[in-house]
Structure 1
Amino acid sequence: MRIFSVLLWILFPGCWAVTGPGAVRSPPGGSVAVRCRYRAGYENYQKFWCREGGLFCSNWFHVIQTDGSEAEVTRGRVSIRDNHTQRVFSVTVGNLKPADAGTYLCGVQRSGFELRDAVELTVSPAATPDPSGGSR
């Protein structure tokens, strides 16, 4: 197994260049803030957020992306901002709808390929406390 991991790292050195939180949750109408980290050397590349459509972003369309600077970009209910010093970019999605639920990719756009990590977005009502001590 260790040999396989080393081979993967050699063949795909950027696989772990971007890391997201894995999963985020919010009730309908709420918002989420997703922080994705990246390794040194990728500060001036474009960062993006897109809906997964199989192996890549659906229809190769990024919901939102930076221009490689630290300037905040807003498109509708979604904004993205990069912090080069901390090597983290933040994506905020507001006024969430059940249709927004799904798998998204946060990533760095490099010449010819993307470095990315999947984030599962769940939009569901908060669990209501059960008087017996559990939740419903």
Structure 2
Amino acid sequence: MTEVYLSVLAEKQGETLRGADLRAFVTSIGELEARGCAALGYRLTGEIPVSRLCVKHLRGAMRVVVAFEEPGRAWVLMLGPHDERNRTHDVYTSLWEVCGLNAPPAGERTKPACCDDGDTNPNLPEIEDLVARCHDLAKPPRRRKRAN
């Protein structure tokens, strides 16, 4: 059994889902709780922390991004559509920002299984920083005061 936590950003994004997208998300959380990393599609490639993040396709262009703090403890960092035509709403654009990157990681994208050989989680003990950055990204933009 895996404990599943949602970042503030994932909670806010989840609140916007309706209908089949919401059902797919709820189902994916149940599968993650029951099956751990085996419930997810693939791991991203690149430097740490990117290489420790797992993705699941929910339905259509919807993706969910998950990190494991330790075996049996997962964090849903964010979810949203993957839309290369509209980078301002693309889930990966937000992910690169949370990971401190200006662009996607360079190199070949191989999409290895989320679980390593032996069904172990791709643990990321330093997850607090990513969760905090997701929290910062969830905040509404600050309004600038007008000069008189």
* TM-score, length-scaled by structure 1: 0.28
* TM-score, length-scaled by structure 2: 0.26
Q: Which has the higher helix share?
A: 2
Larger Rg computed on CA atoms:
1
